[in-house]
Structure 1
Amino acid sequence: MTPTDGQVTDRNLALELVRVTEAAALAASNWVGKGDKNAADGAAVEAMRHAFDTVAIDGTVVIGEGEMDEAPMLYIGEKVGLYAKSGGGPLADIAVDPLEGTSLTAKGGPNAMATIALAEKGGFLHAPDIYMDKLAVGPGLPNDVVSLDATMEQNLKSLARAKKCDVGDLTVCMLDRDRHKELLKACRAAGARVMLIPDGDVSGVVAVSQPEAGVDMYVGWGGAPEGVLAAAALRCIGGQMYGRLIYEDDSQIERAKSMGITEPNRIFRLEEMAKGNVMFAATGVTTGPMLKGVRRFGGGAFTHSIVMRSKSGTVRYVEGHHNFNVKPVSFIA
């Protein structure tokens, strides 16, 4: 069977997204272990922005580095892609985190990566840069097996019943933060095991859908933009996710309303955070459970990436071998 033009375009675009995350990861890898997280982030942002110029889309950044007056590149509302100025290409919403794990990169810690998600225009929740209370579980479970309105004990018991196991067999992943002390205490009181991670809650959420990661549930507060990126990945790979925005003051509520969120306390489901046809790509900067980090050698580097498409449910891992003698390092760093 010959694939349709749309299928070919989707497949080609998925690989183009990998090139974008590869560029960001290679640039950030110059700063691994050097103690300067801002320099690492800046390098990733600049490389990702320039790589977008070759992607055959008319894209708009809806989850990015901040507002126009806060970020020189990849700011919310910025037009990106080959057709950004001329028009005529497929319209797309873009969500990016050019370097998830800036502190991890600066310290040479595990699991830093460059991430990007793409959806049809209007496909992503326009989440402000505030906290989101997140709850995620993997695929193959009854609908609404867990809830943000339930207690930790109730959710663990419900998940254990659905998985036909004991609560003591479950592993819950969360960021290692003081704000999660009560969650941590409740998990341990219920008998569950806990995996505390220093940073990187996109990969933490995605882990619930990867059996080899050994994570049954992800919980806790993290960045709302990262929540949308994680939702995009789960739309492709399978799972359930819920998110509720957390506001520190009235100005944040007004900010959310200005971005189209009319019900401030609403619990957003996975399909509301990332709807329609979605793609997700990530490239490892430092090695973690999901991806190997950039491995540099004289004259080049290896990269390890993942790319997913919700239309097909396909997940591909891509290892790139980069020859800096052909494509100079200045192009990507």
Structure 2
Amino acid sequence: MLGADHYSDELVSAVRAATEAAAHAAGAWFGRGDKNAADAAAVAAMREVLLPAPFAGVVVIGEGEKDEAPMLANGEELGSGRGPACDIAVDPLDGTRLVQEGLPGSVSVIALAPRGTLFDPTDVFYMDKLISSAAARGVLDLRASPAVNVVRLAAALGKPVHDITVAVLDKPRHRALIAELRMVGARVRLAGEGDVSTAVTAATPGSDIDVVMGIGGTPEGVLTACAVRALGGFMEGRLAPQGDDQVRTALAAGHDLTRVLSLDDLVSSDRVLFASSPIR
């Protein structure tokens, strides 16, 4: 739980209970081979807790289009209407495959921020991300090469390059990135899933991950930005649609695909509330 001092004890308690309920519900499906059932259970449990919660919330980062229940869909309103007006970023189950296969690392996560302060990545599902702790502020730059950023971060942290650990999602699209990082001498930690928990670890000073690099989910990126903001860390992002169809859709939605998004762009308020609960 991060940022609890910005909101009432009643709302903080409800948000904590929402992630715990979702984690417990998904945990009943842990290792049972049915990720859709686990996701549906987590969504239903989280919604049940959030509907009467003391706030007026609108889901900005959720399941996207509202196709079939149960979902926490973009534009859905949650809360009793009593209390602060908030944007909601939510992923009741980050790491569905991990739960399906009985592997560690999945979490239930939610973030709140004042209404109108979360970046809305309409129609773009992937983002190139660069995430680290406070020491990286003014040091790292998404426009620089991965090798250059590793060398810069090593100098800022006061340790050799070969002691820098970079977390990268284990995806075919990252082959060149991984090769470059290993060529410069950095350690590469491959993650099968779990965008959010890995990024939060990287933003935490003194953790065993120094920086996150590579392309992951845009919704997870905005969720992560809330945690990074609360931790005082560093983050930059750039929308990265995959394939010509996604590029055309992103451009039609009015996105600038060359723009580097700062932490202020991703969440423009310090009044963030972030909570996650492990699923096991």
Counterparts of 1:194 and 1:24, CA distance in 2: 31
Residue matched to 2:272: 278
C-alpha displacement at 1:257, in angstroms? 5.8
The 1:187/1:29 distance shift into structure 2, 3 A limit, reads: same
Residue matched to 1:147: 141
Residue matched to 1:67: 65
Counterparts of 1:12 and 1:237, CA distance in 2: 22
User: What is the identity, as a one-letter code, of the residue corresponding to 2:228?
Assistant: L
Q: What pairs up with 1:24-35 in 2 under 5 angstroms?
A: 24-35=22-33
Aligned residues of 1:133 and 1:219 also touching (Cα < 8 A) = yes
Higher RCO (Cα < 8 Å, 6 or more apart) = 2
Aligned residues of 1:176 and 1:198 also touching (Cα < 8 A) = yes
Give SS of 1:93's match. Answer: strand
User: What is the identity, as a one-letter code, of the residue corresponding to 2:171?
Assistant: R
Residue matched to 1:316: none
Residue matched to 2:257: 264
Residue matched to 1:289: none
Counterparts of 2:66 and 2:55, CA distance in 1: 21
Counterparts of 2:99 and 2:247, CA distance in 1: 30
User: What is the identity, as a one-letter code, of the residue corresponding to 2:259?
Assistant: R
Give SS of 1:95's match. Answer: strand
Offset from partner CA, 1:194-223 (integer Å, 9 cap, x none): 111110011111111334531111001101
Counterparts of 2:57 and 2:252, CA distance in 1: 23
Aligned residues of 2:44 and 2:70 also touching (Cα < 8 A) = no
Give SS of 1:82's match. Answer: coil
Percent identical pairs in the alignment equals: 43
The 1:190/1:269 distance shift into structure 2, 3 A limit, reads: same
Q: What pairs up with 1:196-235 in 2 under 5 angstroms?
A: 196-211=190-205, 213-235=207-229
- Aligned with residue 137 of structure 1, among 132, 138, 147: 132
Residue matched to 1:299: none
Counterparts of 2:71 and 2:132, CA distance in 1: 34
User: What is the identity, as a one-letter code, of the residue corresponding to 1:139?
Assistant: A
The 1:7/1:231 distance shift into structure 2, 3 A limit, reads: closer
Give SS of 2:212's match. Answer: strand
Residue matched to 2:99: 105
The 1:78/1:246 distance shift into structure 2, 3 A limit, reads: same
Counterparts of 1:219 and 1:91, CA distance in 2: 33
- Aligned with residue 89 of structure 1, among 83, 92, 107: 83
Name the structure where strand makes up a greater proportion of residues.
1
Q: Which moved more, 1:126-135 or 1:93-102?
A: 126-135
- Aligned with residue 191 of structure 1, among 178, 185, 190: 185
C-alpha displacement at 1:12, in angstroms? 3.1
Counterparts of 2:168 and 2:5, CA distance in 1: 37
C-alpha displacement at 1:137, in angstroms? 1.2
RMSD across aligned positions (CA): 2.0
* TM-score normalised over the length of structure 2: 0.92
Structure whose alpha-carbon radius of gyration is higher: 1
User: What is the identity, as a one-letter code, of the residue corresponding to 2:275?
Assistant: A
Residue matched to 1:10: 8
The 1:142/1:98 distance shift into structure 2, 3 A limit, reads: closer
Q: Is the counterpart of residue 37 in structure 1 residue 35 in structure 2?
A: yes
Q: Is the counterpart of residue 77 in structure 1 residue 72 in structure 2?
A: no
C-alpha displacement at 1:81, in angstroms? 0.7
C-alpha displacement at 1:273, in angstroms? 0.5
Aligned residues of 1:142 and 1:162 also touching (Cα < 8 A) = no
* TM-score normalised over the length of structure 1: 0.78
User: What is the identity, as a one-letter code, of the residue corresponding to 2:222?
Assistant: V
The 1:212/1:7 distance shift into structure 2, 3 A limit, reads: closer
Offset from partner CA, 1:70-128 (integer Å, 9 cap, x none): 55431100111112xxxx53211000000001110011101111000000001110123
Offset from partner CA, 1:155-185 (integer Å, 9 cap, x none): 1111111112211111101111111111110
Counterparts of 2:113 and 2:244, CA distance in 1: 31
User: What is the identity, as a one-letter code, of the residue corresponding to 2:140?
Assistant: V
User: What is the identity, as a one-letter code, of the residue corresponding to 1:233?
Assistant: A
Aligned residues of 1:174 and 1:204 also touching (Cα < 8 A) = no
Offset from partner CA, 1:233-254 (integer Å, 9 cap, x none): 0011121101111123356554
